[in-house]
Amino acid sequence: MFKLLFGSKAAAPQVKRETQRETILRAQSEINEILATLSPKPRITVYPEEGTFTIDLPDQMPDEAKALPAPDKPKT
């Protein structure tokens, strides 16, 4: 009767936490999968002093070209 009212006291399933290495490797794999499908390839700049990088993407991505109008060009 008490199980019905208060639920089972079974332990909740343990969630495995990613290590920093696993997180970086997963993110790198996901980025590489996405970049491999792009044409033309974006420029990637690495800043070793800061430990960062940037990816210069085009104004309009291939999937956006199918669904959205072209972005407005800034007036100069």
* Residues 6+ positions from 68 with CB-CB distance below 8 Å: 60
- Residue 7 CA neighbour count, 13 Å, CB half: 4
Does residue 50 or residue 76 have the better pLDDT?
50
Express each pLDDT in 26-75 by its tens digit: 999 999 999 898 888 899 999 999 999 999 988 877 777 666 566 677 76
Secondary structure of residue 7 in the 3-state scheme = coil
